[in-house]
Structure 1
């Protein structure tokens, strides 16, 4: 996946979380508003009198005041004359009251719905901004984690604000980074010390063996034993060197600089020309200018491992093809014996070889492809392999430009 597509995926993920929070805020407000409108409608509907009930009350008032039991002497007496067509008047009043009640309830319902829609829209708008504000610390944590590398753990969140759950999460993340930084620094010191402590005794042993082999008094048994010890010593040196390179690449890159990958390949091909000639293997190259950002020593070791393995695990009069392209950045293909496709993935594990003798002595230590993948991933890339139909292997290394 490219960096642009990964960034787009992260933005869509943040947008999705923000949208869900906004929808949750707006939905809860809308639900509360609907409950409020329903309660208001029911209360007003019960408070407004029904037309028939209202007219009965009016009649009761008329009957109670129109015909007093005893006229009061000296006071004018109002005589209520029955209205002709009282039934028609009652019907007309009922219709008027019914229309008034219906109009009042309709107006109330319409006004409530309009107010609910407007306030729901405002709630969604404010919910959108509040969700963004609530997620801002998470964006800070995510961006900080994205900038971290194995060899560069100096980034910290240092989130300001109240002591809430997000502040606690950020502080916990910073504490974890402090512990990781201490662990990587300890590993770096260990690798440096191990490099010195392990290489020096082996160099002394090799010197002593070479001096013993040059002694004219050494017999054939001692000479044969010396040659065997010298081979074992060389294999131990290669193994230790491979382990140190693997540990260094797994630790990440402490510094990066522009490296011409095509120049590295040309240098490695010249370096392995004698090995190819002794094995009777032809090395073909198809190179183009390609610059990558990384560590020159590790990239040279990556290419050296691929070309050396391609020459070693080959057949008589075989061939090796080295191609530099856009994607993948480097492709190394070779002829050789048939390889089971199910076993190819295991070649990237440490101490795995394309031979049955997994732990036996040999020219290679079984760390070649492990180092290749580790170096590629340290450069933000990856390495894959597949078996060729006619034998041999194809290894592709993807590196960002």
Structure 2
């Protein structure tokens, strides 16, 4: 009972009921005030008009009624006329008092009934208005990690509460996507980190069992070092991904065009060894951000473009004054439906083989995370055949002077 009395519905009922009661009471008071001012005169005029002084003729009959009329100026009324006026006034005052008393009694009874009806209507209206809030509250209370798929789906006319419910549903969509992504990330990270550990254990237990030859020990050593390097690279990538997800601690102007040119120069040798022609077209582009993270963004894009290219292919990187960094490469044909998945952690188009130079599947997800940290939009598109490959555009918010 106390919870009901302290609920928003009870407060709204009290507010609406009080307002309606005040409006009704004010209307009754106004009617009574207006009637008190003019009722006596109107009743007196009506009585005087329809019932002048009654006189009997000599034969005992009542003469025809004559309407009351004003006396000429300067005329003194006769005693009979004064008596007639006094009788009319007494009658009109009695009628006015009786009318006002009856009107006051009826008004008070009507006001009491109106108060009860107002309270009921206010309670009903408050419940109807707050019903969507109750639905939202119950849904939020019921949700957990196992039923994030549920939605409010409020069926109501457009309004503030409808927009609130739709906004809550949109928030649930984002939460479900986030929780799903975190679960996949945790499962994939565990798998990716467990595999190299299993390889190292197998190499140590099987390859170094007994008294192996020095050549075999050297091969096992190289294998263990390669797996350790791969694991170290993966851990560094995971740490970088975590750092980029936290956002920027500080920002300063960064010349992305100069940064992209330096990263392209660093990757030219690797691209040439893979038979890839790397070219650049650098227009002025300065953004506000973290230079180290932006360097990783460009570096990952270029490394991905070289790694997933083909002999005789090309790699093109460009910056434009509009705030756009573009990296395009040829390579195996990619279905447009596959592109969004490539931006998620540990997503590859082929199974991992744990060979030298193989990535951890975090490159593009790190790029997407760094772009989000800088408030930039990232768009990846599959290039049409026969070129294949990807074109990735990162649209920054240019800083002053870019």
TM superposition score normalised by structure 2 = 0.50
Cα deviation for residue 397 of structure 1 reads 0.9
The answer as to whether partners of 2:346 and 2:360 remain within 8 angstroms in 1 is yes
Equivalent of 1:318 in 294, 300, 313: 313
Counting matched residue pairs gives: 236
State the Cα deviation string for residues 31-86 of structure 1 (Å, max 9, x = none): 977995687358636863696874335665734xx79xxxxxxxxxxxxxx99992
Q: In structure 1, what is the equivalent of residue 275 of structure 2? A: 280
The answer as to whether partners of 1:287 and 1:325 remain within 8 angstroms in 2 is yes
Q: In structure 2, what is the equivalent of residue 341 of structure 1? A: 336
Q: Relative to structure 1, is the Cα distance of residues 242 and 55 closer, same or farther in structure 2, using a 3 angstrom cutoff?
A: closer
The answer as to whether partners of 1:310 and 1:334 remain within 8 angstroms in 2 is yes
Q: Does 1:55 align with 2:73?
A: no
Aligned pairs for 1:144-183 (under 5 A) are: none
Does the residue aligned with 1:356 lie in a helix, a strand or coil? coil
Q: In 2, Cα distance between the equivalents of 1:218 and 1:383?
A: 53
Q: In structure 1, what is the equivalent of residue 384 of structure 2? A: 389
Q: In 2, Cα distance between the equivalents of 1:35 and 1:334?
A: 80
Q: In 1, Cα distance between the equivalents of 2:335 and 2:347?
A: 14
Q: In 1, Cα distance between the equivalents of 2:292 and 2:319?
A: 18
Q: Does 1:398 align with 2:395?
A: yes
Q: Relative to structure 1, is the Cα distance of residues 36 and 265 closer, same or farther in structure 2, using a 3 angstrom cutoff?
A: same
Equivalent of 1:299 in 288, 294, 298: 294
TM superposition score normalised by structure 1 = 0.50
Q: Relative to structure 1, is the Cα distance of residues 224 and 400 closer, same or farther in structure 2, using a 3 angstrom cutoff?
A: same
Q: Relative to structure 1, is the Cα distance of residues 335 and 36 closer, same or farther in structure 2, using a 3 angstrom cutoff?
A: same
Q: Does 1:230 align with 2:225?
A: yes
Q: Does 1:86 align with 2:53?
A: no
Q: In 1, Cα distance between the equivalents of 2:294 and 2:311?
A: 29
Cα deviation for residue 311 of structure 1 reads 0.7
Q: Does 1:308 align with 2:303?
A: yes
Q: In 1, Cα distance between the equivalents of 2:19 and 2:352?
A: 67
Q: Relative to structure 1, is the Cα distance of residues 313 and 34 closer, same or farther in structure 2, using a 3 angstrom cutoff?
A: farther
The answer as to whether partners of 1:335 and 1:393 remain within 8 angstroms in 2 is yes
Q: In 1, Cα distance between the equivalents of 2:263 and 2:389?
A: 20
Cα deviation for residue 231 of structure 1 reads 1.9
Q: In 2, Cα distance between the equivalents of 1:359 and 1:384?
A: 28
Q: In structure 2, what is the equivalent of residue 174 of structure 1? A: none
Q: In structure 1, what is the equivalent of residue 375 of structure 2? A: 380
Q: In 2, Cα distance between the equivalents of 1:62 and 1:332?
A: 112
Q: Does 1:44 align with 2:34?
A: yes
Q: Which segments of 5 or more consecutive residues in structure 2 lack a partner in the other structure? A: 1-17, 57-61, 71-192, 205-211
State the Cα deviation string for residues 278-330 of structure 1 (Å, max 9, x = none): 11001111101211111111111100000010011011100111110144521
Equivalent of 1:368 in 356, 363, 368: 363
Moved more, 323-332 or 32-41: 32-41
Q: Which segments of 5 or more consecutive residues in structure 1 lack a partner in the other structure? A: 1-27, 68-81, 91-197, 210-216
